[in-house]
């Protein structure tokens, strides 16, 4: 694997990609498969899930029973290394001291970025999601439609492996035949939830998740994805044969040694490296993009974190794929006499319209799920089912009091025991110990349910990032400062989530565990907490009001592209990762064509 120190890179590459996650991995994959020479800069260390994933360790084998700590917010076995909400020496700041206006910024300092620990939920944006302003007059329409992106959704689903079903529901797009893998069966608790939610008019359907339920068809898929490209077909077929179907043994957030789930490190990077066209420099902290006298991007300046020395990576094309906020930081720090407000910022929109998913949650206990006989409850790392937004028509008619919707994720069953499995039962038992405590633990284990909403946020003028005038990181790079404020649209949506969750729990014959939060301001999660931040470099049809065109190409610098979630004009209720990859593939195809024509 050509993992290089900064001193061993080539003098110049066709493409320099900053970031190695969903956007960076997809960009590097697409470019190298077409023969472009690519250098990838990753701010974190090298990481190999094949050798580093704790596949079979249970929580009792981990420190503190695997529970969350400040260093490992998602538990000891979570795949994220050298990252989290806070990273030593890499601060970010808040413009307000009000906790309600704080933004939580999650960063993964490792090859593959957040793709190593994410939930793998892979939902397509629907037609409404690309034209939301046309529907309700709020926010912005994208300069592209669902039809523009649909072929790339098809490609990404076939490449990474996504299971799911086609249900024919409104604004919940189906996939063409051959794109999706078979969905696993619903667990007992999920089937019970489906039956009781149906009474309330809520559709519970199989979720789409980037996990292999069967081996990929290495004999036919490579030719579909890369027609007339023998090299790409050969290396992709080899990579697909090395991936195994999931055997339901390990939570996906740990990573996957058998490559059954999607990670950039197991799906995008191996075939890209096998082409011989990709070099990767880990521990490369990008600081700024350099430009020449004509305003053309020429290189990325980065800090080699192993030596503390400054280095330069030169390329004909520069692609920022570092994550929405990180790419904003690089653009704002790329100041020059020609670009005094930061690079690609003639519109003044760099950093503006930062978004996250709206989140709220509620749990309960269901007597009908107590003392169930032992039965298989294994499966993919997460739920096999979810509730897509079901009230489009009521919302369009103005009956709900908020303009955008949400989907519901939920968990049931006997999940892997942790610190709280036998503790925390006082609200049910009144307190017990000894033999009675053991009986209670067996009785109630698996009878709790949890519901979480993931809703659409409308971009607003109060949510943006700029540079802190005083604070810098350990390498002297100015830190990001976040400005954040939820609007009434999101607060009302969060309150609706809570009442819906309570209704489902009660329909199951259960009881809500905590007091219902009918006030959206108390129900809603902090900005950034859902780790779905997008925006900050939105695309558009008018350069005066956007940072990039429909291809992720910046208006001001034609050989500078952004392929991460920064270009999103809205943040639908669908998780953004699948759309990030589809847009990155689409942008890369355009980039390659422009390179070939000599336009870059």
Output b/e per residue, 523-536; b: 16+ Cβ within 10 A.
bbbbbbbbbbbbbb
pTM exceeds 0.95, yes or no: yes
> 453 in helix, strand or coil?
strand
pLDDT in tens, 372-404: 888 888 899 899 999 999 999 999 999 999 999
pLDDT in tens, 564-575: 999 999 999 999
User: Token digits for 193?
Assistant: 């939830």
Residue with tokens 């009956």: 399
- Between CA 331 and CA 350 the distance in angstroms is 8
DSSP-derived letter for residue 568 is -
Provide, rounded to the nearest whole percent, the portion of the chain with pLDDT above 70. Answer: 99
3-state class percentages of the chain: helix first, strand second, coil last, to nearest 5: 30, 20, 50
The predicted structure's pLDDT at residue 60? 85
- End-to-end C-alpha distance for the chain, whole angstroms: 29
- Between CA 372 and CA 258 the distance in angstroms is 32
Provide, rounded to the nearest whole percent, the portion of the chain with pLDDT above 90. Answer: 86
The predicted structure's pLDDT at residue 422? 55
The predicted structure's pLDDT at residue 400? 96
- Minimal CA–CA distance to 311: which of 40, 9, 6? 6
Q: Dihedral angle at the C-alpha atoms of 542, 544, 545, 547, nearest 10 degrees? A: 90
The predicted structure's pLDDT at residue 68? 86
The predicted structure's pLDDT at residue 418? 65
Q: Dihedral angle at the C-alpha atoms of 283, 285, 291, 296, nearest 10 degrees? A: 60
> To the nearest whole number, what is the mean pLDDT of the chain?
95
The predicted structure's pLDDT at residue 473? 97
Helix segments in 45-187, DSSP class H: 49-52, 127-130, 132-136, 146-160
The predicted structure's pLDDT at residue 56? 87
pLDDT in tens, 274-329: 999 999 999 999 999 999 999 999 999 999 999 999 999 999 999 999 999 999 99
pLDDT averaged over 10-residue windows placed end to end, the chain, 600 residues: 88 98 98 98 96 89 86 88 93 97 97 95 98 97 98 98 98 98 96 98 98 98 98 98 94 93 98 98 98 97 96 98 98 96 98 98 96 87 95 96 97 77 70 87 91 98 98 97 98 98 98 91 97 98 98 98 98 98 98 97
CA 536 from chain centre, in angstroms, equals 16
> 586 in helix, strand or coil?
helix
Distances (CA, A) of 280 to 13, 23, 164: 12, 15, 33
Backbone phi, then psi, for 283, in 5-degree steps?
55, 35
The predicted structure's pLDDT at residue 334? 98
């Amino acid at each position: 694997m050509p993992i290089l120190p900064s001193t061993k890179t080539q003098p110049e590459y066709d493409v320099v990609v900053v970031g190695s996650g969903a956007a960076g991995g997809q960009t590097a994959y697409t470019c190298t498969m077409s023969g472009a020479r690519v250098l990838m800069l990753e701010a974190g260390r090298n990481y190999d899930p094949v050798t580093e994933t704790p596949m079979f360790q249970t929580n009792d084998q981990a420190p503190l029973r695997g529970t969350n700590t400040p260093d490992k917010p998602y538990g000891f076995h979570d795949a994220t290394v050298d990252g989290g909400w806070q990273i030593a020496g890499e601060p970010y700041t808040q413009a307000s001291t009000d906790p309600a206006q704080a933004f939580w910024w999650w960063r993964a300092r490792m090859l593959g970025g957040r793709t190593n620990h994410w939930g793998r939920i892979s939902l397509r944006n629907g037609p409404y999601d690309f034209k939301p302003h046309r529907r309700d007059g709020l926010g912005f329409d994208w300069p592209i439609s669902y039809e523009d992106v649909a072929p790339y959704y098809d490609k990404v689903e076939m490449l990474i492996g996504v299971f799911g079903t086609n249900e024919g529901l409104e604004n919940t797009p189906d996939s063409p035949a051959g794109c999706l893998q078979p969905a696993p069966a619903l667990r007992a608790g999920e089937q019970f939830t489906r039956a009781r939610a149906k009474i309330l008019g809520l559709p519970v359907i199989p979720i789409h998740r980037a996990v292999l339920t069967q081996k990929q068809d290495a004999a036919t898929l490579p030719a579909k994805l890369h027609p007339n490209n023998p090299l790409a077909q050969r290396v992709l077929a080899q990579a697909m044969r090395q991936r195994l179907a999931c055997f339901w043994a390990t939570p996906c957030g740990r990573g996957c040694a058998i490559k059954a789930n999607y990670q950039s490190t197991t799906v995008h990077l191996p075939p890209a490296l096998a082409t011989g066209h990709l070099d990767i420099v880990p521990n490369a902290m990008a600081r700024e993009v350099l430009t020449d006298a004509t305003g053309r991007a020429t290189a990325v300046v980065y800090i080699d974190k192993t030596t503390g020395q400054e280095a330069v990576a030169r390329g004909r094309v520069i692609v920022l794929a570092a994550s929405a906020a990180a790419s904003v930081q690089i653009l704002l720090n790329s100041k020059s006499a020609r670009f005094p407000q930061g690079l690609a910022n003639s519109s003044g929109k760099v950093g503006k319209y930062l978004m996250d998913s709206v989140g709220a949650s509620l749990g309960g206990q269901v007597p009908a799920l107590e003392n169930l006989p032992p039965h298989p409850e294994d499966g993919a790392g997460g739920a096999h089912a979810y509730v897509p937004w079901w009230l489009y028509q009521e919302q369009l008619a103005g009956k709900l009091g908020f303009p955008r919707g949400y989907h519901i994720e939920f968990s049931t069953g006997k999940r892997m025991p942790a610190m709280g499995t036998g503790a925390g039962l006082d609200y049910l038992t009144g307190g017990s110990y000894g033999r009675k405590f053991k009986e209670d633990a067996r009785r109630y284990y698996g009878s709790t349910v949890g519901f979480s909403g993931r809703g659409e946020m409308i971009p607003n003028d109060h949510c943006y990032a700029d540079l802190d005038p005083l604070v810098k990181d350990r390498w002297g790079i100015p830190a990001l400062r976040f400005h954040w404020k939820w609007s009434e649209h999101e607060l009302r949506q969060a309150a609706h989530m809570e009442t819906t969750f309570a209704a489902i729990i009660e329909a199951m014959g259960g009881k809500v565990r905590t007091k219902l939060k009918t006030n959206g301001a108390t129900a809603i999660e902090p900005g950034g907490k859902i780790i779905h931040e997008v925006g900050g470099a939105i695309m558009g049809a008018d350069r005066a009001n956007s940072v990039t065109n429909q291809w992720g190409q910046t208006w001001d610098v034609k050989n500078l592209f952004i392929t991460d979630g920064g270009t999103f004009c809205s943040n639908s209720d669908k998780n953004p990762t699948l759309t990030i990859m589809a847009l990155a593939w689409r942008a890369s195809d355009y980039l390659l064509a422009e390179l070939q024509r000599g336009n870059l």
